[in-house]
Amino acid sequence: MTDIPTTMMAIAITEPGPADVLKPVQLETPRPGPREVLVRVAAAGINRPDVLQRMGGYPPPPGAPETPGLEIAGTVVALGEGAAGWQIGDRVCALVAGGGYAEYCCVDETNALPVPEGLTLVEAAGLPETFFTVWTNVFERGALKAGESFLVHGGTSGIGTTAVMLAKALGARVFATAGSNDKCRACEDLGAEICVNYRTQDFVEVLRAATGKRGVDVILDMVGGDYIARNIKLAARDGRIVNIAFLGGSKAEVDFLPVMLKRLTLTGSTLRIRPVADKAKIADALATIVWPLLEAGKFKPIIHQTFPLAEAAGAHALMETSSHIGKIVLTA
């Protein structure tokens, strides 16, 4: 670990609370364990789970760093015992269980991917959490296929913009919801056929009409609450509804008769606590199917704004306004 400092700047959650509890601190620079690589972090993506962790509601899994941050991009600077997939100097982006808001971060070598050709490290930092999440939930659990219809709620979030672009690139008919006309236009510019302003329109009525009353094949929902029943109403026969968050609450009163009559699948998942081996399988699928699309310029992550690492509190404050379109990224 020559030329690697013994300490580094990282962002600590000093106590559960609002954005300003995030403070820069000095921590010992981590050392890579077996089959891990140490990455000098150039950029780290901000995600809603980071906000939940900061507020005390989403603790890191056992063994993961207390430092927040689930996705990074940077340069490999040291190899742990048995790590053979990367060389020092390689540019990578990676999904991590924590520790991303720091100058250095360790990751299992199987959970890292090469920075796609043509993308900057800032853009690459916006890939892992959203693309791993969208791939496993929309295309694995939701089994979205070319020619089917797809709806993502919160279409201008990091997950939403990724889902719109990837589903469109892989041949689906794409719909979205968002909270303003400007956000709806942004979704449509990214490939959504229709984006419904949920503040002024009923997405069930609009999209049932758009599909000739057939409904939507796959729905990706981060809202929950009363959207749970409305998604069931909108879903097509043999439709799949995938929940990955519950910003509007995880409890709802639901009539399950349409679930039976329409043969619906209701499912969901979390990503952070899944084993490294599960995430490695997702990484392999992304490398095979999605990374060539990125390198061909079919789409790229939408970066709304960057903040210096020391200003993580400002980045969280921006995320909580929900005014962003795409990703918010910290830069080291």
CA 1 to chain centre: 31
* pLDDT, tens digit (0-9, with 9 covering 90-100), for 118-168: 999 999 999 999 999 999 999 999 999 999 999 999 999 999 999 999 999
Q: Tell me the CA distances in angstroms from 204 to 188, 211, 225, 231, 299, one per residue in order.
A: 18, 11, 15, 8, 28
Question: What integer pLDDT is reported at residue 3 of this predicted model?
Answer: 86
Average pLDDT of the chain, as a whole number:
97
Confidence at 50, pLDDT banded by 50, 70, 90 = very high
Residue 189's pLDDT band (boundaries 50, 70, 90)? Answer: very high
Q: Does the pLDDT at position 292 exceed 80?
A: yes
Question: For the segment 231-287, what is each residue's pLDDT rounded down to a tens digit?
Answer: 999 999 999 999 999 999 999 999 999 999 999 999 999 999 999 999 999 999 999
The pLDDT, as a whole number, for residue 88 is: 97
Q: What percent helix, strand, coil does the chain show, rounded to 5?
A: 35, 25, 40
For residue 297, what pLDDT is reported? 96
292-to-109, 115, 147 alpha-carbon distances in Å: 20, 11, 21
> What structural domains and CATH numbers belong to the chain?
7-127+272-331 (3.90.180.10), 131-268 (3.40.50.720)
What pTM did the predictor assign? 0.95
Percent of the chain with pLDDT over 70: 99
Q: Which of 263, 247, 245 is nearest to 198 (CA)?
A: 247
* Predicted confidence (pLDDT) per residue in 95-121, tens digit: 999 999 999 999 999 999 999 999 999
Could you tell me which residues come within 8 angstroms of residue 283 by beta carbon, excluding any fewer than 6 positions away? 95, 110, 111, 112, 113, 132
Tell me what pLDDT residue 2 has: 55
Instruction: Kindly report, residue by residue over 219-230, the tens digit of the pLDDT.
Output: 999 999 999 999
**Residue 310 in 3-state DSSP?**
helix
Tell me the percentage of the chain whose pLDDT exceeds 90. 99
Of 55, 63, 54, 67, the closest CA to residue 26 belongs to 67
Predicted confidence at residue 258, as pLDDT, reads 97
Residue 175 has pLDDT above 70, yes or no: yes
